[in-house]
Amino acid sequence: MKRTVYLISGPAGAGKSTTSRKIAEILEKSAYIEGDFINHMVVGGHEKPWLSETHLNLIWLNMLSLTRNYLVNDYDVIIDYYVTYSDKTNYMLEALKDFNIDIKFIVLLVDKDELLRRDSQRPVEDQMGERCIIGLNEIIASNPPERHIMNTTQTDIEQVVDDILRNPKYLLNPLS
């Protein structure tokens, strides 16, 4: 059976982890890779990935190694991370081109007010405040094609997940 890698992107607060976990729970054989957790495996000498390209590259190398292992063992893979278009989408397309798989890329967006509302509902130590908006603006500025964007402000999670699973518009085209 043809396997799928789902790249679930979006700013903090857009619902990446809830959505990713739901997708993983629906699929028969699935692995859910949380980029934030991979990031925090580094303890001594940890650097913020948005300040260190070396560290960011190591996170992606690790996510790629895990993805390859899961694909070889016939799992679908859901990667929940701040996937930027088109550098990281191209990195994954290139690195996984030997596998006969589909790669879907989804950018979850929510309106600014909703993003700040969700952020304010987190435990205080996890609140990001204005940094949510910076993330939102950066993702919009990276200019992902419209068909990969899903605004979830008014949409419930079941609909979001169903659309990601069924809708072929999220497929990334192979690199030519």
Measured CA to CA, the distance from residue 74 to residue 69 in angstroms comes to 9
Residue 69 binding a copy of itself, by CB under 8 A: yes
Residue 31 binding a copy of itself, by CB under 8 A: yes
Cβ 63 to a copy of itself shortest distance, Å: 10
CA angle 167, 87, 105 (to 5 degrees): 10
Residue 96 binding a copy of itself, by CB under 8 A: no
Helix axes 16-26, 157-166, angle to 10 degrees: 60
Return the closest-CA partner of residue 82 out of 137, 157, 11, 22. 11
Residue 53 binding a copy of itself, by CB under 8 A: no
Kindly indicate which of the ranges 11-19, 72-80, 138-146, 161-169 contains the residues binding a copy of itself, using the contact rule CB under 8 A.
72-80
Token digits for 42? 């580094």
Q: How many residues bind a copy of itself (CB under 8 A)?
A: 29
Residue 27 binding a copy of itself, by CB under 8 A: yes
Residue 101 binding a copy of itself, by CB under 8 A: no
Q: Helix, strand or coil for residue 96? A: coil
- Matching residue, tokens 């919009």: 140
Measured CA to CA, the distance from residue 60 to residue 151 in angstroms comes to 26
Closer residue to a copy of itself (CB): 66 or 95? 66
Contact set with a copy of itself (CB under 8 A)? 21, 24-33, 37, 41-45, 54, 58, 61-62, 65-66, 68-70, 73, 75-76
